[in-house]
Structure 1
Amino acid sequence: MTRHAKSERLLLCDELDRIGPDAPTLCEGWDTADLAAHLYIREHRPDLEAGRIVPFLSDRRDREQHRIADADFPGLVARVRAGAPAWNPMSRPRIDELANLIEFFVHHEDVRRAQPGWTARRLPADLERALWTAMRRSARLMYRKAPTGIVLIAPGLGRYAAKLPDAHGTVIVRGEPGELILFSYGRTDVAKVSLEGEPDDVAALRGSKLGIG
């Protein structure tokens, strides 16, 4: 079984080790230490991770994330690199691939594309195919609040209708799978995609908030 999620995890950790704890990311308000702390909490501290969806726990989660981010950065990156602990289902390769491929791909690009002079990676064909499969699984969730219909097109791989038109017509979002994922997860300023549709519809989509939030 190819483990693209693990590869993206290791590449991200290499980048974190290289640029250190204070570098910017595309995650608003987070530097690289904050991002590493988020990834650690996600796999090691379910008691804190619940704060993402339970409002009265969010303050505690934020405090602990700041505390973890301010501690030993190389040690924190090493723990993220090591992966989920044995008790966490994400430690199993198949679940890791399902749960973490997009997570680590997007956060890897959050770090890379926040640095001056970044360039887009040329991704292997098998990774692009895996990202396209993952994109189709999550597309309807990502675009559920979009003000337009959405059709995703990955040249050479296919098309996917992510949302039916509502108040506006349909916009075609065209790009390589990794770029479609970045756009769909709200990284619209850096994703290399083209938008095709009526100008008002394209403007409405560009002005909307995409992603889980």
Structure 2
Amino acid sequence: MPRYARSEREALVDLMQTLGPDAPTVNEGWSTRDLAAHLVLRERRPDAAGGILLPPLRGYGERVRLRIAARPWPLLLDQVRRPPAWSPVSNPLTDELANTLEFFIHHEDVRRARPGWLPRDLAAGLNKALWKRCGGLARLALRRFPADVFVQAPGYGELSVGRGGEPVRVVGAPGELALFLSGRQRVSRVQIDGPPAQAERLRGSDLGM
């Protein structure tokens, strides 16, 4: 069985190793060092990882992340490449479920911050795995959007979410939709059909978690 979480992790670490710790990423204000520290925190510091999603814990989580970011660059990369077997999100039972989307998105965060990037031709299995995760992303990102949003990946499926109103359709490959729904609209290649004002609002909305 293909291990897409592992292959995306390896590709991301290899790219960060090539670019160095100060290369930009799609995440505003974050370098590759910041991104690596985020990944180490997520996998190795469950006491602080809650700050990624929970505002009351955000300050503590960010202080821990900054301490991690101060580690030597080779150590940071090694810790990303080799997660501990006890990690709640990276053990053999959870790795594919928890990390395929995570490492695909962060791999693209580094790739698409560079001039001249092009979308990759993804394996059908990876596209299928990413599409499975788009439903959860869409429900989180668009649950309050004031329109019916139809998210379509030709050849993979369609889902709808939103609060009603003039419909908007977002069409793209599963990877592009995953990037769009995770708040990376400016670097995702999707087609949006619908009322111009709603389409523009969707492109500019804060969809990230």
Return the TM-score normalized by structure 2.
0.93
**How large is the Cα RMSD of the aligned pairs?**
1.7
Q: Which amino acid aligns with 1:25?
A: T
1:184 Cα deviation from its structure 2 partner: 0.5
Tell me which residue corresponds to 1:170.
Answer: 167
One-letter identity of the residue aligned with 2:65? Q
Q: Is the 8 A contact 1:8 1:104 kept in 2?
A: yes
Contact map agreement 1:143 1:210 (CA 8 A) in 2: yes
> 8 Å contact 2:150–2:170 — kept in the other structure?
yes
Structure-2 residue corresponding to 1:62: 62
Cα separation, 2, equivalents of 1:159 and 1:60: 39
1:197 to 194, 198, 204: 194
Equivalent residues of 1:147, 1:204 under 8 A apart: no
Contact (CA 8 Å) 2:51, 2:59: kept in 1 or not? yes
- Relative to structure 1, is the Cα distance of residues 158 and 53 closer, same or farther in structure 2, using a 3 angstrom cutoff? closer
Counterparts of 1:128 and 1:95, CA distance in 2? 19
Partner of 1:47: 47
What are the superposed Cα offsets for residues 12-44 of structure 1, whole Å, 9 maximum, x if unpaired? 111111101000011121100000000000010
* Pairwise CA distance, 1:55: 4.4
Query: Helix, strand or coil: the match of 1:89?
Result: coil
Q: Percent identity?
A: 49
1:117 counterpart letter in structure 2: G
Aligned positions, number: 209
- Which amino acid in structure 1 is aligned with residue 97 of structure 2? L
Residue 155 (structure 1) shift: 1.1
Which is worse superposed, 174-183 or 122-131? 122-131
In 1: Cα distance, 2:43 partner to 2:116 partner: 32
| Residues 1:98 and 1:150: Cα distance change in structure 2 (over 3 Å) | same
Partner of 1:153: 152
Structure 2 contact 137–182 (Cα < 8 Å) conserved: no
1:173 CA drift (Å): 0.3
Distance verdict in 2 for CA 1:156–1:53, change over 3 Å: closer
- Segments of 4+ in structure 1 off by > 6 A? none
Q: Distance in 1 between the 2:31 and 2:124 partners?
A: 31
Per-residue CA shift, 1:44-100, capped at 9, x if unaligned?
Answer: 0112213334545433322232222122111111111112x2222333334111111
Q: Offset of 1:162 from its aligned partner?
A: 2.7
- Contact preservation (8 Å) 1:185, 1:210: yes
What secondary structure does 2:89 align onto?
Answer: helix
In structure 1, give the amino acid aligned to 2:2: T
C-alpha contact 2:153 2:172 (8 A) present in aligned 1: yes
After alignment, is 93-102 or 51-60 more displaced? 51-60
Is the 2:25–2:109 contact (alpha carbons within 8 Å) kept by the matching residues of 1? yes
Show the counterpart of 2:180. 183
The one-letter code of the counterpart of 2:111 is R
